[in-house]
Amino acid sequence: MNKKHLSAGMVHTLLLSYTLLALWPIFLVLINSFKTRKAIFKDPMAIPTVETFSLVGFDKVLARSSFDIYFSNSIIITVVTLTLTLLIGAMAAWALSEYKFRGNLLMGLYLAIGIMVPIRLGSVSILNLIVELNLTNTLTALILVYTAQSLPLTIFILSEFIGQIPKDLKEAARCDGVSEYKIFFEIILPLIRPAIATVGIFTMVPVWNDLWFPLILAPGEEARTVTLGVQQFIGQYVTDWNAVLASLTLAIIPVMILYIFFSRQLIRGITSGAVK
Amino acid sequence: MTHWTQNLAKRSGVALAGLMAVAALGIAPAVNAANLTIESWRNDDLEIWMDKLIPAFNKKHPDIKVVFAPLPPADYNSGLNTKLAGKTAGDLITCRPFDASLQLYQKGNLLSLNGLSGLENFSNVAKSAWQTDDGKTTFCLPMASVIHGFMYNKEIFDELGLSIPKTIPEFMAALETIKSKSKYTPLAMGSADQWEAATMGFQNVGPNFWKGEAGRKALIDGSQKYTDAAYVNTFKHLAAWAPYLGKGFKAQKYPDSQNLFTLGRAAIYPAGSWDITTFNTQADFEFGAFPPPVPAGQSECYISDHTDIALGINPASENIDAAKTFLTWMGTAAFAEMYANSLPGFFSLSNHKVTLSDPVAQEFVSWRAKCQSTIRNSYQILSRGEPNLETGLWNVSAQVLNGTMTPEEAAKTSEDGLAKWYKPHM
Amino acid sequence: MIMTVSRKTLKSFPTHIVVFLAPAVLIYSVFMIYPLLDSIRLSFYTADQAGVTTFSGFANYVTIFTDEAWSNSFWNAFKNNMVLFAIHMAVQNPIGLMLAAILSLPRLTGRHTYRTAMFMPTMMSVVIIGFVWQLILNPLWGVAESVMDLVGLADYFEPWLGQEGTALVTISLISVWQFVGIPLMLLYAALLNIPEDLVDAGQIDGANHWRIFWYIKFPMILPAMGVVSILTFVGNFNAFDLIYALKGGLAGPNFSTDIMGSFFYRVFFGFQLQLGNPTMGAAVATLMFLIILVGIMIYLFGVQRRLNRI
């Protein structure tokens, strides 16, 4: 009994210290964004007090950039890319792992190439393509490129998971005469939910955080993403730490809120839908 | 079963919303035909362009809409090249001096400006940074030059009873006084960004060693080498700065150096004149400037007065006439006056007489009368091949400061790189 | 039963397979494969001053491997990339595994909160992470120094990001800090997928957590460990953003933080007065592709085959 308590204490100490390590740098940015310039430099680790509290950085960020537009752009791009990738990625993964057809292995290898290749290598050709399609400075351009970029890994991971699904489930349905489409949408999709949650995060993180393609394909104000907005803002106000810390805070907080919200869904998905 | 169907409904709902969003986004914002977009790396100047310069232009030409669309400086070359390749670059392109822009012209990405009205207001020296080697074609309209020197915190100098150092021994003595008699950092410069070491260090103090234009031209024609005493001595002087730089200067970046100075924690700042604008808004003490000190016993002085920035036209632009109108306007006295005073530290390259109101900018520009001007010695012709000389100088200057390379090694590395591809040095 | 269905689908190529595959294959081919092939094609060309390209066979590759300046840069970037990968394998993945193992312990209170918090850095943009750590390690601001002072180590503080010997390791550890959430997540999901009766059986036999983990759970998640390793490899050899955010295009000091991604970027797009060389850049990128390909082959034919045998 005693021994068990001790180990639980140790487990929590370990987890707590890592949590602290993970969150402390972010916390540091948050508190300092609410302080005066002098206070930021004088005592970086102090919580803002009545004397040191200041919103001057936020005033500047909000007056000098359109963070609201950047946010809606980033959210639209991420959500649409995620939806498209998961849907058509799961479809392709299902086709590859379920059906034995001629060229199956070849198709799998073909789709796997994308995991290995840095997509930046194709930047100039991608840009030409987007120009020809008349899609520069649109969110569509980014969505298409990000979907193409996310598909290989999505298919790779989902195939592994689909391969683990017990055969008797599908076979029972097939004996009942259920169509292949119905089997996929009604039996398989719900079963691979934990994988979808994982893949979702894998897709979402690089898409939300990408700097390169917004810079090249959609640098215009109307299609600018948060990451590009922050990067340009930092570049512009790099010596003004109030403004920089405030812009970082503005970029961090919505991601945190979104993530905490999504995270509940994800954990529920993982724990309830785990393939047994 | 109900569980699955519910799930299906939920999922298809999300998918449908996604597809609808894709459909809705297909509508690209229409591009107005009378628009001009300026590509630039000067994102620091965004507000001044939007709030002052463009409105002034629109008073004269209300029919032409101008957008200043800067990229972060480090992303400019790559971003611009990709946009040019993809034919999405703006109508007006900010030109770096010499070879970088010359190559753009040779590739057909800059329009010849010969015969453009307004170009006659610039001297041949001003135009030389944006001309073909034979001097026959000019492809960018010169905007400004920047001058190197040192800025100092007047309050700290008063407190320690220091006077402005004129020679290198005086300069080193001043650094020693600051270090031993106060808590201030003597010199605010770091080596993390590398270019600070090369630009604010090597190219700032070097002209006094290699006698300005004489040395620069001698490097180009091959009669001098980087291993000559003048260049080794410049590196040696740079190496002598190391003990007086801030704690942890190896990880100190350019904005850190600026903050170190404007927070009043450093006494002297190796500067480019463009820093004036930032310092005016951030420093709450009085600061002044002095030119690079000369080696002991040398009477004549040299400064780096570098032709830095110009504007050219993208031949792929659909509004070339409007772009020419804009450049002509930039050649006027009114623009020169407004630009130089909005951005003190960027000195107009036109022949118009410009009155500067900023005292520190006045100080910088007054050195033109006392000293002889030159430009950075790696910019013309010498950075055309590989390994690239300018990039190499960044690396070795930072290493000399860090103490990972001796001045002699730095000089030899630079010369060896040049000897690999540049005939006069082979 | 299974066999008969498979045989049947083999005979006629059913439309449902096409329907399932078509959207993914189409988008992927147009926006990924075509641009990549186009770039590989580019690597066999050279451009003259006016930007006109001519076919030159393997000339670019010969330059990379025989010209001393090029081959030094290439092998330096390759070596640094291997260091980056080694640090991720040695630090990131064991930490991820340890945290996943602890988090998957039965009856752990607050696991959702822990997991959410630990994954937080992975969600953040490299632009943000790079800037945050730069501030923390900044000698001017002194945060890292005063934290070390709390435990009496202030004298050991150094400008790690700026020193040739320490910059790469420091950046690697920042990257580990940010991306530890990925192995954590994958291994956690794998651990949850282990049938409970297996673990229960172990518990009935009186095995403790430690033994249950190593003898029952760990062998079950080896395939997931394989996936994590290969993802780490691919991710590291495609990395670029963090180096760029922290050290800029020159990857200093003295190229000590230059990896394949930053080397490619500098060659392809140019740097300050150094002009971009798209054809040479395409050659570098093709070499990166080959390196990654070799790594994946080693995994598929060496590691995975052995894993499957277990």
pLDDT tens profile B21-65:
444 444 333 344 468 999 998 877 887 898 899 999 999 999 999
Which residue spans within B205-323 are E strands per DSSP? 266-272, 287-290, 302-313
Residue A139 has pLDDT above 90, yes or no: yes
Query: Which residue of C lies nearest to B108 if distances are taken between CA atoms?
Result: C50
What is the mean predicted confidence (pLDDT) over A231-239? 73
Task: Return the closest-CA partner of residue C184 out of C129, C107, C87, C117.
Answer: C117
Asked whether residue B64 falls in the same domain as residue B101, the answer is yes
The pLDDT value recorded for residue A141 is: 93
Tell me the CA distances in angstroms from C309 to B319, C299, C306, one per residue in order: 68, 14, 5
Tell me, yes or no, whether B12 lies in a domain. Answer: no
Number of domains in chain B: 2
Cβ atoms within 10 Å, residue B62? 8
The better pLDDT of the pair A246, A120 is held by A246
Q: Where does the pLDDT of residue A134 fall: very low under 50, low under 70, confident under 90, or very high at 90 and above? A: confident
Asked whether residue A204 falls in the same domain as residue A168, the answer is yes
Rounded to an integer, what distance in angstroms lies between the CA atom of residue B104 and that of residue C49? 9
Least confident of A84-88, A162-166, A193-197, B25-29: B25-29
For chain A, counts of helices (H) and of strands (E): 14, 0
Domain edge (last residue) among B360, B384, B400: B360
The pLDDT value recorded for residue B22 is: 42
What is the mean predicted confidence (pLDDT) over C144-161? 83
Residue A263 and residue B305 in contact, taking contact as beta carbons nearer than 8 Å: no
Rounded to an integer, what distance in angstroms lies between the CA atom of residue C260 and that of residue B370? 49
Asked whether residue B197 falls in the same domain as residue B279, the answer is yes
Tell me, yes or no, whether A124 lies in a domain. Answer: yes
Asked whether residue B287 falls in the same domain as residue B220, the answer is yes
Query: Which DSSP letter does residue B358 get?
Result: -
In chain A, what percentage of residues exceed pLDDT 90? 20
Residue C198, min C-alpha distance to chain A (Å): 11
Asked whether residue A127 falls in the same domain as residue A40, the answer is no
Number of domains in chain C: 1
List helix spans (H) across chain C: 2-11, 15-28, 34-42, 59-66, 68-87, 93-103, 111-123, 126-137, 143-150, 167-179, 181-192, 196-204, 209-211, 218-220, 222-238, 241-247, 260-269, 278-297, 305-309
Query: Which residue of B lies nearest to C72 if distances are taken between CA atoms?
Result: B387
Domain boundaries, position C183: 64-309
Give tens-digit pLDDT for C96-119.
999 999 988 878 888 888 988 888
Query: Which residue of A lies nearest to C114 if distances are taken between CA atoms?
Result: A19
Tell me the CA distances in angstroms from C296 to A118, C37, C146, C230, one per residue in order: 14, 20, 44, 7
Asked whether residue A213 falls in the same domain as residue A165, the answer is yes
Tell me, yes or no, whether C114 lies in a domain. Answer: yes
**What pairing do the DSSP bridges indicate for beta strands C270-271 and B287-290?**
unpaired
- Name C247's bridge partners: none
The better pLDDT of the pair B277, A124 is held by B277
Asked whether residue A30 falls in the same domain as residue A143, the answer is no
- Count Cβ–Cβ pairs < 8 Å, chain A vs chain B: 106
- At A23 the three-state DSSP class reads helix
Tell me, yes or no, whether C166 lies in a domain. Answer: yes
The pLDDT value recorded for residue B29 is: 39
- At C211 the three-state DSSP class reads helix
What is the mean predicted confidence (pLDDT) over A139-153? 93
Chains that touch B (3 or more CB pairs under 8 A): A, C
Chosen from B249, B306, B391, B421 to mutate, greatest number of chain C CBs within 10 A: B391
Tell me, yes or no, whether B366 lies in a domain. Answer: no
Q: How many residues does chain C have?
A: 310
**What pairing do the DSSP bridges indicate for beta strands C53-55 and C45-47?**
antiparallel
Contacts of residue A84, defined as CB under 8 A and 6 or more positions apart, other chains included, come to A143, A147, B18, B19, B22, C27
- How much is the pTM? 0.81
Asked whether residue B131 falls in the same domain as residue B195, the answer is no
Chains that touch C (3 or more CB pairs under 8 A): A, B
For chain B, counts of helices (H) and of strands (E): 20, 10
Domain boundaries, position B132: 35-145+307-360
User: What does residue B148 show for φ and ψ, rounded to 5 degrees?
Assistant: -95, 155
Chosen from B31, B88, B185 to mutate, greatest number of chain A CBs within 10 A: B88
Cβ atoms within 10 Å, residue C197? 9
Asked whether residue A14 falls in the same domain as residue A135, the answer is no
What is the mean predicted confidence (pLDDT) over C266-283? 81
Give tens-digit pLDDT for C114-147.
988 888 898 888 888 888 898 888 887 778 888 8
Residue C280 has pLDDT above 80, yes or no: yes
The pLDDT value recorded for residue B3 is: 45
* Longest CA–CA separation in chain B, Å: 95
Tell me, yes or no, whether B29 lies in a domain. Answer: no
Asked whether residue B71 falls in the same domain as residue B123, the answer is yes
Rounded to an integer, what distance in angstroms lies between the CA atom of residue C205 and that of residue A11? 23
Residue C298 has pLDDT above 50, yes or no: yes
Tell me the CA distances in angstroms from A21 to A27, A257, C65, one per residue in order: 10, 20, 43
Asked whether residue B356 falls in the same domain as residue B246, the answer is no
Asked whether residue A120 falls in the same domain as residue A215, the answer is yes
Asked whether residue A87 falls in the same domain as residue A184, the answer is yes
What is the mean predicted confidence (pLDDT) over C241-266? 86
Asked whether residue B163 falls in the same domain as residue B299, the answer is yes
The pLDDT value recorded for residue C83 is: 97
The better pLDDT of the pair B159, A221 is held by B159
CA B211 to chain centroid: 22
| Ranges in chain B, pLDDT < 50 | 1-33
Chosen from B7, B25, B67 to mutate, greatest number of chain A CBs within 10 A: B25
Scanning C119-158 for CB atoms below 8 A from A yields: 119-128, 131-133, 135-136, 140-143, 146-147
Say yes or no: B402 contacts chain C, CB-CB below 8 A.
Answer: yes
Tell me, yes or no, whether A253 lies in a domain. Answer: no
The pLDDT value recorded for residue A76 is: 93
Asked whether residue A103 falls in the same domain as residue A25, the answer is no
Say yes or no: B82 contacts chain C, CB-CB below 8 A.
Answer: yes
What is the mean predicted confidence (pLDDT) over C196-204? 79
- Buried-state track B82-96, b at ≥16 Cβ within 10 A, e below 16: bbbbbebbbbbbbbb
Tell me, yes or no, whether A255 lies in a domain. Answer: no
Residue C310 has pLDDT above 80, yes or no: no
The pLDDT value recorded for residue B9 is: 40
The pLDDT value recorded for residue B399 is: 95
Rounded to an integer, what distance in angstroms lies between the CA atom of residue C295 and that of residue A268? 35
The pLDDT value recorded for residue C72 is: 93
Least confident of A62-76, B12-26, C225-239: B12-26
Tell me, yes or no, whether B164 lies in a domain. Answer: yes
Mean pLDDT of chain A: 82
Q: Of B96, B379, B398, which is closest to C252 when you measure between CB atoms? A: B398
Residues in chain C closer than 8 A to B96 (CB atoms): 273
What is the mean predicted confidence (pLDDT) over A25-40? 89
Q: Where does the pLDDT of residue C12 fall: very low under 50, low under 70, confident under 90, or very high at 90 and above? A: low
The pLDDT value recorded for residue B305 is: 92
Domain boundaries, position A18: 2-55
In chain C, what percentage of residues exceed pLDDT 90? 29
